Amino acid sequence: MDNNFIEQLQNVLEEGQVSLQEPMERHTTFRAGGPADYFVRPKRRQIQPVVSLCRQYQVPWMVIGNGSNLLVGDKGVRGLVIELGRMAGISVEGDVVQAEAGALLSATARRAAEEGLTGMEFAAGIPGSIGGAVVMNAGAYGGEMCHIIKEATVLTKEGEEKSLSLPELELGYRKSCILKNQYIVLEARLQLSAGDKETVFQRMAELRDRRTEKQPLEYPSAGSTFKRPEGYFAGKLIQDSGLRGYQVGGAQVSEKHCGFVINKEKATAAEIRQLISDVQDRVEGQFGVRLEPEVKFTGEF
């Protein structure tokens, strides 16, 4: 631990915003992972000074939202984790919703519905934040963020705020330009359409019921574990490989939906990662298809 770095962090931030050796199992939907050396929850105006300090002291850093697409190693994260949970503002002007990066997709979709706006129903059940959804072009039930994003405001690695249009974001299947350019998403403006409030809420309820029926929401997971392979469905390949219910320690291929790896019994990150690797090897051996994880691995395993 660098005491000078900690002191400078505490000068930039406020009491309660800095934690040391923070267990990352508290901040990921897998509910697994070791401690981060430094963990901060800044307000928007504090992000640039925090990143500048990291560069000054050569401390590696990473940004997380709701931790819904992340597996952190059991030995934790060396460096600093910036969690955007304090940046959760949502505002509406006409048919445009402006949401800060830390706002949950569920809360943003609900606010849109309350305003009688349609187009975001697909995202209501995705357990992520706006920032992560922009980075990964999150999608479900035929909808994707690229269908509704008007523009996003990012912080560049040089510390400047920049507005990116939809084409400039380079959104594709579970990808964007954000990571390769080392941007931090600050907020997004979503272009929706006027709709009937009751109809919008009804559609959200229908999708919620479908999720509850088909997905293992009662267990910690990162949602769909694998990207959709060209011409196939990951869950079907896993099921046809005889892996329904396959278990490594406390980690399991869900019996309810084979596309989900769940933390069934206090699994370690190493067990979850090993199970994912086993699934990849078995499916490739039987069908010649190498599944690519949607889950991002970080930290030391």
Active site residues: 174, 224, 294
Instruction: Dihedral sign for Cα 46, 52, 41, 62, please.
Output: positive
DSSP reduced 3-state for 78: strand
Tell me what percent of the chain is helix, strand and coil, each rounded to the nearest 5: 30, 30, 40
Beta strands across the sheet bearing 260-263: 221-224, 260-263, 251-253, 247-248
Closest CA to 118 of 203, 195, 206: 195
Whether the Cβ atoms of residue 135 and residue 149 lie closer than 8 Å to each other = no
Instruction: Dihedral sign for Cα 169, 172, 173, 177, please.
Output: negative
Closest CA to 85 of 101, 110, 102: 102
